[in-house]
Chain A
């Protein structure tokens, strides 16, 4: 019970700090603390595999991805203006009312009072693997396809558009030459010198 209190305090405090701190890098660090607390809660609930998957996927991959995104968008510099958006009163009211409704439902639910304290289910990775390879084989394949498509899509979206970038450079060069008084037609065309210039 004490371990549960410590872990849940860690998780909720990390989540609150991740949502309220000013510096985005600090937000990412607080989010990592919240994910670690959640992994501990999974271990408390006898779901060892999910706990370690949480550590691997969230702390190992998603947190690193978020830090990279923060650094690539120059979010590391503290915001000059308010960190909350213009409609924050409405958003906070919605969040508080959602918490109120869900909390009162849990408080008055008969299932929550009657369920509980079954004997600890002994689940090992072998059983999970057997289930994944027999009963849940089709969802597993679909998930693999989804992950592949999502990763290819993410790379395509985030990749700097090569054609646009080259044309942008060409325009800047042309504008600079015009400003210098050089005739634009004297500038060689795009394809020739770049392709010939490489080798």
Chain B
């Protein structure tokens, strides 16, 4: 197995763990943590492809990851603010109980 394959497998594992957490956990904050893990797995993929790809001097992988980190930070801030606001309104962060928009 080449180094690129090893990094890609680690990134896949990280993505699957984050997806499992986001889909199975009950607490909304843990769901957000799972989404952060998935974003980080994608970042690891970008860096691995940049490092072992055919043209590592173009720097596109690094630049993309920098932008991705910025967008993830904005997403985390807004998401956690929404969780706090929902907790004030409904006194719960349980995603099973937040179903007032269910038809």
Provide the B64-103 mask, 1 if CB < 8 A to any CB of A, else 0.
Answer: 0111011111111110111111011000010110000000
B55 to chain A, nearest CB (A): 9
Q: How far is the CA of A69 from the CA of B27 in the complex (A)?
A: 12
Q: How far is the CA of A113 from the CA of B53 in the complex (A)?
A: 12
CB < 8 Å neighbour of B93 from A34, A75, A127, A132: A75
Interface of chain A: mostly helix, strand, loop or mixed: helix
B84 close to A79 (CB less than 8 A): no
Q: How far is the CA of A42 from the CA of B40 in the complex (A)?
A: 11
Q: How far is the CA of A91 from the CA of B77 in the complex (A)?
A: 25
Q: How far is the CA of A35 from the CA of B93 in the complex (A)?
A: 24
A83 close to B25 (CB less than 8 A): yes
B18 close to A92 (CB less than 8 A): no
The A-contacting residues of B in range 5-39, CB under 8 angstroms, are: 5-10, 12-27, 29-30, 32-34, 36-37
A139 close to B67 (CB less than 8 A): yes
A156 to chain B, nearest CB (A): 8
A92 close to B24 (CB less than 8 A): yes
CB < 8 Å neighbour of A38 from B40, B50, B81: B40
B84 close to A102 (CB less than 8 A): no
Choose among A4, A81, A115 the residue with the greatest number of B CB atoms under 10 Å from its CB. A115
Query: Which of A50-58, A173-181, A187-195 faces chain B?
Result: A50-58
Chain A neighbourhood of B47, CB < 8 A: 41-42, 45, 47, 50
Provide the B45-56 mask, 1 if CB < 8 A to any CB of A, else 0.
Answer: 001101111101
Chain B neighbourhood of A31, CB < 8 A: 33, 36-37
A131 close to B26 (CB less than 8 A): no
B56 to chain A, nearest CB (A): 4
The B-contacting residues of A in range 126-156, CB under 8 angstroms, are: 127-128, 131-132, 136, 139, 143, 146-147, 150-151, 153-155
A79 close to B27 (CB less than 8 A): yes
A106 close to B85 (CB less than 8 A): no
Q: Would you list 21 pairs from A and B whose C-beta atoms are within 8 A, ordered by A residue?
A: A15-B17, A15-B18, A49-B62, A50-B66, A57-B70, A66-B80, A69-B80, A72-B84, A85-B25, A88-B24, A96-B16, A102-B15, A106-B5, A115-B4, A116-B52, A118-B52, A127-B59, A128-B62, A132-B66, A146-B71, A153-B78
Give 4 A-B pairs besides A45-B48, A94-B23, A128-B63 with Cβ atoms closer than 8 angstroms.
A19-B34, A24-B27, A45-B51, A150-B74
